[in-house]
Chain A
């Protein structure tokens, strides 16, 4: 645990005591929720009512459980939502919806939590409030007793208070209780959160199901993106290089025909043919750069990002430390994500300078792009950043954006991956 200052420590304790109150209040709701749900289930034979009432009661129970999950997150206990995803096909209504709810084990686990969760919530809440309150009593007892003559029977170790010195000792005891209370309250919150975790967290099965749902989504995104990419490449080749090669063949064929009759024309045609082959090469080069930049193949992420930074119309400082290279698909995703982020900086940020930093620690490739522009970037506004997010999601990567109005904007991208040791170190020579 990190050492913390007395102020944060007190604030943390007070927050926990306050949330103890909230915990009690919320726990009190659990019982009526449980009753409501059971009644709704019991009303199932009265088809009309049950069909509507049960989903409604369930959504209330889930809202309560979600609240518990959110509160647990405040004490470093992460509880993911375990609910089964919507069944395939049209929006489930009526009986199908009913079945979806009742066959989801998470529904039953929520219900199983309601009562014990309430008991633990109330008990721990009460304890975390009572200790500091008792401390407060001890601290205030002495002045009240001395100046107002209020009669106290006993406090702490002394029942009854038999002497003046025992009365005075209530003060240090009170301080001790107060401190204990403030230390204990966050721990008690944590215990409550951990208990919630045992029932509200996804089971192994549910975790797998969530993972499958996530993979299905990213896979379909990937397939779509790849299909679109292939279509673009096909179109570019068809309209570009391929058409130029056809025209090249025709020009050369014509030149062949004219060789004896009109050498001057042949010279013109050949010059034209050379021009056409040049344009075809330019188009192919641009296309290749978009598919997999050659410098990425040659130099890896490090060299490719440096080359990119050199080609952009603003000074960009590059700080990359990579002991090896990731797998090619991951490397490519990392490169295009970085390139997209940098392009956004150039296009939209109004920045004078930008910085890229790439590191690999603990099997995580981290790319940070920072600029001194006007900030206020909205990831949902353009397709650029959501494209980056999709690209990274394929490899379980993430992107986060911090862009307060006025800047600076920081894009942080993370990709879990291993690095292979470099095949040849630069400048190692081959002789």
Chain B
């Protein structure tokens, strides 16, 4: 699987490269600044890009902007955005008009290598990986969620992070059938149209939470 990395700190750039190569990803280019990112993405059309939000020369949100621009030119180009902090605002921008293949995670998550690699693979496959921090910030502010049971909220959070029914079942130690029942309840209580597709499900949840 071919990867483009954009990260300005050499230490982290090399670390990411080493980590991904250890899991059989091929890092085709690792750039260290914003202006180089978009051409690299358009040239290599990687299977997935791992991008830091803040890059030189302005150290604002150049990585994010380049990722959004690249996805405008190449719809569905899988991008996993990493940052020292997460903002629901950025998550919304990444997801707007997207056809999936989007991830947005705290850099801390890289420390859990297995989960991180799983997230990269999920995004490359056109899935979604939302940081639990974004999801919990969104869950905290929605009053209609009061109608949900504690278990349903757990399932909703997992769903919003981008996990499949199987993965949620494994994580919460309940059967997949119980999960689908919870999800049907959630969709009913929140008056959302049910959907089978994992990714569209995430988008529906986030769109609802962000409304």
Contacts and interface: CB of A to CB of B under 8 A. Distances in A.
Interface stretch (A1-9, A119-127, A277-285, A413-421): A277-285
B38 A431 contact: yes
B68 interface: yes
A427 B89 contact: no
A424 B85 CA distance: 21
A428 B66 CA distance: 9
B108 A313 contact: no
A288 interface: yes
Contact of A424 (B58, B89, B141): B58
Nearest to B68: A427
A430 B61 contact: no
A316 to B, nearest CB: 10
B108 A294 contact: no
A289 B85 contact: yes
Contacts of B83: 294
Contacts of B205: none
A280 to B, nearest CB: 9
Interface string A397-431: 00000000000000000000000000110111111
Contacts of B141: 310-314
B111 A430 contact: no
Contact of A431 (B42, B58, B61, B89): B42
Contact of B88 (A307, A424, A427): A307
Contacts of A428: 65
Interface string B69-89: 100000000000001110111
Which residue, A289, A423, A431, has most C-beta atoms of chain B within 10 A?
Answer: A431
Interface residues of A, number: 29
Nearest to A424: B58
A295 B65 contact: no
A278 B115 CA distance: 14
Contact of B87 (A278, A281, A307): A307
A361 to B, nearest CB: 25
B108 A281 contact: yes
A310 B58 contact: no
A298 interface: yes
B37 A297 contact: no
B188 interface: no
B194 interface: no
Interface in B196-211: 210
A268 B92 CA distance: 38
A288 B107 CA distance: 15
B59 interface: yes
B59 A297 contact: yes
A245 to B, nearest CB: 14
B166 interface: no
Contacts of B92: 310
Interface string B37-74: 11100100000000001100011111001101100000
Nearest to A315: B141
B69 A429 contact: yes
20 contacts: A278-B111, A281-B106, A282-B108, A285-B84, A294-B84, A297-B59, A298-B60, A299-B60, A310-B89, A314-B141, A423-B60, A424-B62, A424-B65, A426-B65, A427-B68, A429-B38, A430-B37, A430-B38, A431-B39, A431-B66
Interface of B: 34-35, 37-39, 42, 53-54, 58-62, 65-66, 68-69, 83-85, 87-89, 92, 106-108, 111-112, 137, 140-141, 210
